[in-house]
Amino acid sequence: MEIIFATHNQNKLKEVQIMMPEHIKLLSLDDIGMHDEIPETSATISGNAAQKVQFIRQRYDMPVFADDTGLEVLALNNEPGVYSARYAGEHKSSIDNMELLLKNLEGKRDRSARFVTVFALDMDRCQTLFEGVCEGAVTEEYHGDQGFGYDPIFMPNGYDKTFAQMSLMEKGEISHRGIALKKLIAYLT
Question: How far apart, in whole angstroms, are the C-alpha atoms of residue 54 and residue 66?
Answer: 9
Annotated binding site for substrate: 7-12, 69, 148-151, 171, 176-177
Tell me if residue 31 falls in helix, strand or coil.
coil
Would you please indicate which residues are annotated as catalytic (active-site) residues?
Answer: 68
pLDDT digit string (tens) for 27-56? 999 999 999 888 889 999 999 999 999 999
Residue 119 predicted with pLDDT over 90? yes
Which pLDDT score, from 0 to 100, does residue 180 have? Answer: 96
Which pLDDT score, from 0 to 100, does residue 9 have? Answer: 83
Annotated binding site: 7-12, 68-69, 148-151, 171, 176-177
Which pLDDT score, from 0 to 100, does residue 42 have? Answer: 93
Classify domain 2-188 by CATH number: 3.90.950.10
Annotated binding site for Mg(2+): 68
Residue 69 burial class via C-beta count within 10 angstroms: exposed 0-12, middle 13-18, buried 19 and up: buried
Which pLDDT score, from 0 to 100, does residue 69 have? Answer: 94
Would you give the DSSP letter of residue 94? H
Provide the whole-model pTM. Answer: 0.90
pLDDT digit string (tens) for 53-86? 999 999 998 999 999 999 999 999 999 999 998 9
